[in-house]
Structure formats: C-alpha cells, structure tokens
Structure 1
Amino acid sequence: MQLQATNSPFTQEQAELLNQLLPTLTESQKVWLSGFLAASQAAPSASGETPQAVPAAAPAAQPVSKEITILYGSQTGNAQGIADSSSKTLKENGYEVTVSSMSDFKPNQLKKLKNLLIVVSTHGEGDPPDNAISFHEFVHGKRAPKLEGLRFSVLSLGDSSYEFFCQTGKEFDNVLEDLGGTRLTPRVDCDLDYDEPAAEWLSNVVEALNGKQEEETGGVSPAGVPAASGESQFSRTNPFQAEVLENINLNGRGSNKETRHIEISLEGSNLSYEPGDSLGIYPENDSVLVDMLLDELKWNAEEIVTVNKKGDVAPLKQALITNFEITVLTKPLLQHAAQFTENEKLHELLSAGHEEELKNYLSGRDLLDLVQDFGPWAVSPQDFVSMLRKMPARLYSIASSLEANPDEVHLTIGALRYESFGRNRNGVCSILCAERLEPGHTLPVYIQHNQNFKLPENGETPIIMVGPGTGVAPFRAFMQEREERGAEGKSWMFFGDQHFVTDFLYQTEWQKWLGRGVLTKMDVAFSRDSEEKVYVQHRMLEQSKEFFQWLEEGAILYICGDEKNMAHDVHETLIGIIEKEGSMTREQAEDYVARMQQEKRYQRDVY
C-alpha cells in the first residue's frame, strides 16, 4: 500500500520519502522504529511537559541483540569448521559475530553475553575435547554465573557407535538451562554425517534470531556447513579425486605389522594444508563382504535403490560398496532394524536392563552379523539401505609439508586386521590402501584443518614430540616444515614400535635430520626387543630432569597416537615428571599441565 497525502497526515513530499524508505526496511528495523517512535512520544519534552500519547496498534517488541558469540570445542577440527562457516553465514544475515575456542574464551565474560551458540564434539568415552575442558569445568563449577538474560543453542557432534553419544553437547545444553539460559532452538545431536543436520540447525538459529520464518528470510545457504579448504572448490561435501603416486610398505620383512606410506597428488585441486592437519578419505567397502551380505539376504545385486535425500540412485551392490557403512553397528541401527524382524532375541537385547549386553554385542560385530543373528527379515532393499549411515570419511594425520612437497600429501596408514567372533575382520580404509590401492588409482579426499595441533609461529620455540607407531606421521610433517623454514628452536622426538630392525618408521629420514641439526634429540623404545616391554613413557621417565627443563624453557609438547592406552599413559607420566622434578604436589602438577593446555603448550592428536 502506497502512502498518499490524501490518505495520511503527511505532505506529498514526506509521503514520497516514506514510500522510498519503507520497502527497504527489514522486519527488525520496522519493529525498532515503531518502538523508537513510541518511546519518543512518551518521553518528557524540553519544557518538562509530557506530550499526549498517540494511539499505537500494538506494543513494540524489544529490539533483538545483533551480537552473537560462537564457542567451539574441537579435537579434530570439525566443530571449529562449523563455527567458522556459521559465523560467515550469520554475518551475511547482518549479525555481529565473535568466534572463539572455549580455551581462549574468558569465562567471566559469559554473564555479559546475550546470544551464545555452542558447537562441540565429544571425545573418547563421553569426554570434552582438550580445548573445551577448562570451560566445561567452569560452567559446571561453583563460580558459574546466573544466565537469565542468555539465549543459547547447542550443536553437538559425536559418533553413535560410542556409548556416550554427544555427551559433551548434552551436558553443555543442560547446564546452560540450569543456569537460567533460554534456548533459541533445541539442541541438535549430529552423527558422523553431520553436514545436513548442521545446516538445518543453523537455519533454525537464524529463524529464531530474526523472529520470523525461513521463507521470509530467504533461508540459510547450505554453505553453513564447513568448507574444507579456503579457496578450493573441493571440500568434505565435494571431495577431490586425487591420484595415488606411491604406495609402499614401511615395515621390514618379518614384521608383525604393515604400515603403508602413501603419496597422493593434489595437483589441480587448489587444496592447501599445514602440518598438523588431516586428510579425509572416503573409502569403499570390500566387495567380498558386500557379496556375503547380499547372499545372506538373497537379494539382486543390480536392484536400483535411492542412496540419498537428493534422490540419486545406484545398483544395490554398488550402493553398499560406496555409499553406506556396513562394518560398524550402532544402537540406533539395531533399533531401526528391529522394526523389520520378529526375532525375540533382538527385541530383548534392546529392552531395558540389557544395556551391558547390548554394548558387548555392538563391539566387534558388523552388519553381516546382525543379518545372520536376528532373521528372518521382512524388509525391502530400499528400506534396508535407508536405515544405514552414510559412509563416513576416515581422517589421517598428514605426514608431509606442502612447502617441501608442492601439490602432494603423504599419509602413514597402519593396516588393521583382526579376528572377531569366528570371522576375520578388516579396517575399511586401511585394507583398501594396503591391498587394493595402486599408483594411478584415485581416492576421494579433502583437507581437514586442525588449529589445535600446530607448530609454533616462532621457529625458536622448542618442541617435544611423542608419536609411537603411525603417531609419527604429523611429526614427519613438522620436521619437513621446520627444515624448509630454517627453524632454529630445539626439537626432541620420542618414537616407539615393536622391533628396531623391522618397525623403525622413516628411520633414515630421522637420522638425516639429526645429522643436519633439524632434529636436536631422539629417544626410541622398541617394546619387543627386550624381555621387559619398553614404551615411550619409559624413555620420558629416564630423561625426566631434562624433559622438565625443556618444559620450563617454554617447550610445546605434542602427543599423537592411540588415546586409550598410549596417550593416557604418557599423560600420567607427564604429571609424574612435573611432580617429581618440579617438587610439586599431584594437584600442583595437574594445574601445571592445565596451564600448558590453556597456553597451547600441550597439544594432542589422539584417536
């Protein structure tokens, strides 16, 4: 409706100006303007008199704060990627956004926030990631403030094959409510395939912030999920088909292990990375396992099925090889599957009071076990694949420097083979690389940036690296990078494996770096070369005095490898060394380590 001098109290000139202005205003600007005009009518005049109020159609809403803080807790970089790209989308929607790691955020600022978005992963058995620990402790502690004026929303990342799925996100969501905060939107818990739910969460957040429906705002672009690398068009959702250049076994003849060194070309991708980042690979399932599954279900391998929400289709066998995860069981999968069988054992397994039995069943079994154990099945191929998770990418620590190897990325991958419940099992990606990947083949890949595992900007800062087995990978990248930069800071490597003769990964390279002074010191532990097993933490203890001296000089400590055993033992050893050499109590030593983490002087890439 157009204003005219004849249908309003305005002059023709005023009406024309208003007709030009009003269509350009957003809904929030109109609300603010109506509130401003109402307030100006109610305010005393310069003479001290109060003007008569003009009739208002409705009370004006309070203006929505345009300031948003996004805090992320991230171990591998996924949560940080979502936080960064969410910030970009929110800024495009007119908001002022601050993004921060939880470890960098000052907790006393929390009570000043109006809008808070939490993006956090769950690590290990329900634990916060390293850079979320201090903030997690604060909000659950006695010093946490009341947050009645806070609006918040939580995006939680996890893996439903773990018992404590998205536990950290659930805890943040609950405690912020307990402190008085109000949810902007409900928490969203994401499995490994987080792209679509993360985009939907962000869309709902923007709707809630704007106070209107998505169709009025024009929606939120799917770019709300993280792009994997700056200017490149290739990402987690659009991987690059990278050619394999080399694939060699690093272990010597007679070794109990098989560790592949794989060199991959990134030429033409415009992908870039830094030491400490990871490469994501989308693998394929073994066709032999897929054939066994199809034989058990007596299905036609060529039957066409829909493989995603976009409506893409593929023959059933190819879909099971390429599109879906079939080697890991989760509780949600069993709950879906129970709809298609009357097998009493499965329904009993999922009933209350059988949690421990269910946990034991899920461990070490795959989709073929499920099909064999709980038939007969009344399910179509389409319904069957619809309940499966999308094939998740496998992340591997990059073992090269882009400065030293332009247009290439190197990986160090241990082949996983084991026997479980009477059947031989294989790691999906590691055995693809070990047995079926040749030079000239291609792999769908993307870069996973990880700002939580990075070399110091100052090349004079000393570093200590602890990386047994394939945990050596990022430290090979560190050494290549420091050599290219001409870094002069001291460096100390702790490496361990089973046998010196067959399992000393990249031995000649370490020796050359020692000879050239790029690497200052190296200690090795080969557990099977002596009667009593020796591990990297034992070498740390043997060098405890010098180790602590390096820490006192400001050295950054890096740990890479198995979390459950190695990383736990190294962490305990670290506390013991600080306690002994620093003449501290256990509590003081733990505080020392906590400060190291806060200062980014204790960084872990564990799995």
Structure 2
Amino acid sequence: MMPDWILSPARLAGVGGLLVAYAALCARVAWTVRRQRLDVLRDNDAPAAAGDSPAVLVAYASQTGQAESLAHEATRMLRESDLRVTLLPVDAVTANTLGAHPRSLWLVSTTGEGDAPDHALGFVQNVLTERVDLTGHEALVLALGDREYRHYCAFGERLQQWLTAQGAKSEWICVDNMSCSALRLWQSGVSALRQELLCDAQESRPGPPVEEEWLLPPEATIFRLARRTLLNAGSQGGALYQLDFVVNDSDLPHWQSGDLASLCLPADPEHARDYSIASIPADGELQLLVRQSTRADGSPGVASNWLCTGMNVGDSVALTIRQHSSFRLGDNANRPLILIGNGSGLAGLLSHMRARIAGGQGEQWLLFGERYPAHDAILGEQLRQWMQRGRLARLDLAWSRGSGERTYVQDVLLQQADVLKTWVERGAAIYVCGSRQGMGQGVHHVLTQILGDEGLRVLSQSGRYRRDVY
C-alpha cells in the first residue's frame, strides 16, 4: 500500500539563481531550435534528379507520432520518384513557406475535444490567424482523430477551412482511429498528386511504378498474454489490469520508454488502438496497464473490455510497436525528471522510470493521483521499494476519494510549487501522462500559474515539457 503522505518542500534559492537558470534555459532553447533547423535543412535537400519539378510541402501536426509517421512515409514515396519535397512540422510552417510551394500535403491530428497537438499551438496562433493569398495553391489535408470524441477531426477541419478561405483549392479526409479505408483514400490522393507532378516534369511520361500499398503499417509481432492481474480490487472506479505479454519463438522487438503498442481487435480490424507500454525490453516482456472503460450509454469500451475480459491468458495477439517521438526521453535522458500522471497514465511514466533505473540515470520525482488509498494504490509496493532504494527522489500522492479532503494531482503540484521551480532551475524535464479532462488540463493550468506562460512555452519548445494525454 502506498504511504499516504507528502514530502515537505525545500525552500528556493535567491532571485539571482532564478535569473541565471532562466538565461541558461533560453540559451539551451536557442541551441535546440538551431539544431532542429539544421536537421530540417539537411533532410530537405532536393534530390539531384529533381530538376525544376515544383516542390511539395508536407506538413504534420502529431501528438502520438501517427501523423508524423505518415508524413515521413508520404515524403519517402514522393522523393523516391525524384520529386522535390519539403517536410516540416507545422510549427515551422510560415506564410512565406506556403507561398513558396504550389502544392501541400497536411497530416494533422486532433487531440481531446478538438484541440491541436501541443507543438502546433504556435502555428494556430501565428499562421491560422493571418490572411495569406493562396490563390492557385492546391492542398490535401489528412485529419486524424478518434470518433469517441465529439470533435474528433476539428483541428483538421479548421485547417481545411482556413486554406479554402485563403483561396486554395483544398480537399480533406477525416480518419477515425486510423481507419484503413480512409487511409486508402489518402493514399490514392497522394499517388494521384505524384503522377500529376511526374507528368508535368517529364512531358507526360509515366513515372516509375509504386507498390500498390505503399502506406503499409509497421510490422506486427505476435505476443502471447502470459498474465493478467487486477491492480485495484474493491475500487469504485473502473477495473485496472496489468497485462504481461511475451513472445514465444523470437526475440522481443525493440522499443524505447514512452513508445506505444498498437493493436486491432478481431471484431474491429479497421481501427487500431494505442496503449502506452509500461515496461522496457530488458524486462523480458511487454506490459500494459488497461482500464476497463464504460461508455456514456453504459456499454463497455470495445477494446478495453476485450483486453480485460475477452481474451484468455495464453491467447495470442498481433501488437505493433509505434515510436512515440514526442514522449520519448530524447535529450532529457540524463536530466532530473518530474513525472506527473493519474490512473492508467502511470504506464507511460513507469517505462521512463524503469529505463532510467536500468541506466543509472538522474533524479526522478513522481506525482501520481488516484481514487482511494485503500484500493487504488497502483503498484504501491514497487514504488515504495524504489523510494527506499533511492531510485525515486520524491513521491507525492493525491487521493480524490477517502476519509480525508479530496486532493488531485494538480493540487499537490501547486502545494509543491517552490520545489517544482527548484527542479526546473536545475534543468528538470516535465512529463505528463493520463486523462486530458481533469488531470491534464488541471496540471497544465497549474504549471502555467507556477512557471508563467512564457516559462512553460520555453520548456515546451526545448522539449522539456512533454504530454501524452487522452
């Protein structure tokens, strides 16, 4: 059982230390941005055979890596046909960039109830509010979302409307949960653009053949469910299970902490579901934490119900490992980490803690929220042991139910504001994983209170504030 206590905060150093740390942070951001721009210039060198063919802009806004992966795949296909392509995240796209490209492909995700991905907020504020003459420009927008949310393609729709309002000829495709049929429509649109460009550049000669299904998913691995453990017996919330998968006849595929496991259900092969991986390859198994969810009408969630009660221990399932570049450790591997989450969001944080413990890297501070300390102390013994052995520097817990006052993880974060500032001054990165509604929004609001809009923006731009909220 997790200890129901909160560590008392250390006091801050002087204002001078804060200014020095902030200056160092700004310098780090400038270096990171410069390095990213150099990477973009390197990756966007035109192929030698491209000649004077018109350049295509491929822009992506990705929260979990799906849109980014599809953007890279479309770019690869076009470049293999010796076409000039500029590949950029939307936060690097400007009005001048658009004006320099007669055609564009957009691959954008919507998060939560209609929001743009975190890294796209600057684009929303600085470009989507501008008037830009895009007369004659042709665009194709792929909008990724999840129909379980009411406005599941809202960001893509907003982008489409903006492009049209600027005079562009624009079409869009809304994709529910990586629907294969919708992705085939997108593939057809990109292939048609490719052929049109090749005909223009080669005086109507057909281009080199392209495989019929170039938009293929990454290779899946067959896993077997070795164990399923109920982690919150007696809880009034949804049952939360730990699922341990193993591979029988081959080695585990490689993944990094922060990555995702994607699967399609036997009853719904058209739609893939993503789950945070809680383990690392060195553990010898792939571990998920899955909440058995219930829809608003009382019916069980299709994917979670199958994983938690439908499949039997010993059954096999095809899982695809997906890189989640925006939630990996990356340059933060050796920094102090502030890990914030609730419920099944502990999975994405566990993988980082385990990776850092295995590598002997850095300090870690976990702030975690659940319902009742008596029933929802998820993996409490493991966390307690890590504290005792010095693997966790701090552990702060929030209980929203029980005999005491209701406390949420954002409340604990506000109480520990001085400690948070001290950690950030020392270079800490902040990772948030769990529910968007309530926890995710509340934590973001409190972090803005503590660090200020500009301080949080600087952390986000430098990759030191990363979120996986759903």
Q: TM-score, normalised by structure 2?
A: 0.80
Match of 1:64 among 21, 37, 53: 53
Deviation of the 1:545 alpha carbon: 1.0
Structure 2 counterpart of 1:405 = 283
Label 1:201 to 1:429 Cα distance change in 2 as closer, same or farther (>3 A). same
Contact kept, 8 Å, 1:252 with 1:501, in 2: the verdict is no
- The reply on whether 1:440 has 2:314 as its aligned counterpart is yes
- Corresponding residue SS for 2:107: strand
Counterpart Cα distance in 2 of 1:405 and 1:106: 44
Any unmatched runs of 5+ in structure 1? 1-28, 33-62, 229-233, 285-321, 324-389, 579-588
Aligned letter for 2:293? L
Match of 2:141 among 154, 162, 178: 154
Contact kept, 8 Å, 1:399 with 1:475, in 2: the verdict is yes
- The reply on whether 1:476 has 2:461 as its aligned counterpart is no
Structure 2 counterpart of 1:449 = 323
Match of 2:121 among 107, 116, 133: 133
Counterpart Cα distance in 2 of 1:545 and 1:265: 43
Counterpart Cα distance in 2 of 1:141 and 1:256: 42
Q: Deviations over 1:358-405 (max 9, x none)?
A: xxxxxxxxxxxxxxxxxxxxxxxxxxxxxxxx6422211110112x22
Q: Deviations over 1:220-264 (max 9, x none)?
A: 434532533xxxxx2xxxx43321111111124566442111111
Contact kept, 8 Å, 1:255 with 1:503, in 2: the verdict is no
Q: TM-score, normalised by structure 1?
A: 0.63
Q: What percentage of aligned pairs have identical amino acids?
A: 27
- The reply on whether 1:73 has 2:61 as its aligned counterpart is yes
Match of 1:261 among 242, 265, 269: 242
Contact kept, 8 Å, 2:332 with 2:464, in 1: the verdict is no
Label 1:432 to 1:187 Cα distance change in 2 as closer, same or farther (>3 A). closer
Q: Deviations over 1:419-466 (max 9, x none)?
A: 83xxx5212222222223332111232122211111133533121111
The count of aligned residue pairs is 416
Aligned letter for 1:189? C
Q: Deviations over 1:5-29 (max 9, x none)?
A: xxxxxxxxxxxxxxxxxxxxxxxx9
Structure 1 counterpart of 2:154 = 167
Q: After TM superposition, where is structure 1 displaced by more than 6 Å over at least 4 residues in a row?
A: 212-215
Any unmatched runs of 5+ in structure 2? 1-48
Match of 1:497 among 370, 374, 380: 370
Contact kept, 8 Å, 1:71 with 1:102, in 2: the verdict is yes
Structure 2 counterpart of 1:337 = none
Structure 2 counterpart of 1:331 = none
Q: Deviations over 1:165-200 (max 9, x none)?
A: 4222232233234445x44x7333323204312321
| Structure with greater strand percent | 2
Deviation of the 1:277 alpha carbon: 1.3
Contact kept, 8 Å, 1:396 with 1:411, in 2: the verdict is yes
Superposition RMSD on alpha carbons, in Å?
2.9
Structure 2 counterpart of 1:415 = 292
Counterpart Cα distance in 2 of 1:106 and 1:486: 42
Q: Which has the larger radius of gyration?
A: 1
User: Larger RCO: Structure 1 or Structure 2 (Cα < 8 Å, ≥ 6 residues apart)?
Assistant: 2
Label 1:417 to 1:110 Cα distance change in 2 as closer, same or farther (>3 A). closer
- Corresponding residue SS for 2:271: coil
Counterpart Cα distance in 2 of 1:522 and 1:108: 48
Listed as ranges, the matches of 1:322-471 within 5 Å are 322-323=267-268, 391-402=270-281, 404-406=282-284, 408-417=285-294, 420=297, 424-471=298-345
Counterpart Cα distance in 1 of 2:204 and 2:327: 38
- The reply on whether 1:119 has 2:107 as its aligned counterpart is yes
Contact kept, 8 Å, 1:249 with 1:260, in 2: the verdict is yes
Contact kept, 8 Å, 1:461 with 1:490, in 2: the verdict is yes
Listed as ranges, the matches of 1:22-33 within 5 Å are none
Structure 2 counterpart of 1:506 = 379
Deviation of the 1:536 alpha carbon: 0.4
- Corresponding residue SS for 1:224: coil
